[in-house]
Amino acid sequence: MSMFLVTFFVMALAIVGMAIGVIAGRKPIAGSCGGMNKMGIECQAGCDKPCPKRLARLQAQEQNN
């Protein structure tokens, strides 16, 4: 039972910490722009709204072509 309480307390502390970070004005947790690209897999979904890094890279590719 004590292991459950310790685990519950640690998880609750982590959640409260993340909530305080969001309330304090920090960005909420979000995925990175290059997640699948870092592994060498290009996005198959064809995102409607790419992130700024991807948008800049696409524009640079268009200018080079």
1-36, pLDDT tens digit by residue? 999 999 999 999 999 998 888 788 766 666 666 665
Q: Flag whether the pTM goes above 0.75.
A: no
Q: Considering the domain boundaries, does residue 44 fall inside one?
A: no
Q: How many independent structural domains does the chain possess?
A: 1
- Domain that residue 21 falls in: 1-27
Give the separation between CA 40 and CA 17, rounded to whole angstroms: 34
Q: Considering the domain boundaries, does residue 65 fall inside one?
A: no
45-63, pLDDT tens digit by residue? 566 677 788 788 888 888 8
Asked whether the beta carbons of 13 and 33 are under 8 A apart, the reply is: no
Q: Considering the domain boundaries, does residue 43 fall inside one?
A: no
Q: What is the DSSP string of 21-55?
A: HHHTTPPPP---TTHHHHTT---SS--SS--HHHH
